[in-house]
Amino acid sequence: MRLRKSPAKSIPIETSREIVALTKELGISLDLESVRKVISLGMESLNQEAELEYALKKLEEEKGRIASNFRKIAFQYSQLEAKCVGTRNWFGRVSRDNRVLAMHLCARVPRGKREEQLRDDLIQKYIMNWRSAQNQQDNKGDTNEIGLE
């Protein structure tokens, strides 16, 4: 029986740690097809190895600067967002408390015209408006907290 010639040939790359490091960094495996594509890319490249290494160094430096700026901006954003969420939640809690108080107020008889006006306004704001806002939210299918504005 005659043995068939293997279609693939192995090349040792112990001396090229860079290739191993780059494949790891890029998350690619050097199977037959990938090697073919990488070789053709290498042959088509107009740049020399040294030029590419220099460009990579510059890109890494640029990435460092961009990432540092991004971290600063992201920190600033998270601080502001926390403040916004905190204020919104506080407002939500006070509004819910006010709604409970307004419900208690419904059972009270006002003393005088001014008190009656205040009572009506607050009941309108925290019970009537709240309900219509709730209905609007339900129709929109929005689950966000209802804000009384």
Partner 1 sequence: MNAADERSSTHEIKILRDLYEEMGSEEKIIRSIKVGLLSLRATSLERENADLIKRTGDLEKYIAELPHEIARFQQLLEKALKDRKTLEKLLDKKR
Which residues 54-83 are close enough to bind partner 1 by CB under 8 A?
55-56, 59-60, 62-63, 66-67, 69-70, 73-74, 76-77, 80-81, 83
Is 12 among the residues that bind partner 1 (CB under 8 A)? yes
Number of residues that bind partner 1 (CB under 8 A): 79
Q: 134: which 2 tokens?
A: 């709730």
Stretch that binds partner 1, among 4-12, 127-135, 136-144 (CB under 8 A): 4-12
CB of 53 or CB of 138, closer to partner 1: 53
Q: Are 147 and 95 in contact (CB under 8 A)?
A: yes
Render 32-87 in DSSP notation, one character per residue: HHHHHHHHHHHHH--S-HHHHHHHHHHHHHHHHHHHHHHHHHHHHHHHHHHHHHHH
Residue 108 in contact with partner 1, rule: CB under 8 A:
yes
| DSSP-based three-state secondary structure for 138 | helix
Span 23-42, contacts to partner 1 by CB under 8 A: 23, 25-26, 28-32, 35-42
Closest CA to 42 of 67, 72, 19: 19
Closest distance between partner 1 and the C-beta of residue 90, in Å? 6
Note whether 128 binds partner 1 by CB under 8 A: no
- Shortest CB 138 distance to partner 1, Å: 21
Residue 104 in the binding site for partner 1 (CB under 8 A): yes
CA distances to 37, 71, 81 from 33, in Å:
6, 38, 48
Could you say whether residue 98 binds partner 1 (CB under 8 A)? yes
CB contact at 8 A, 126 and 96 = no
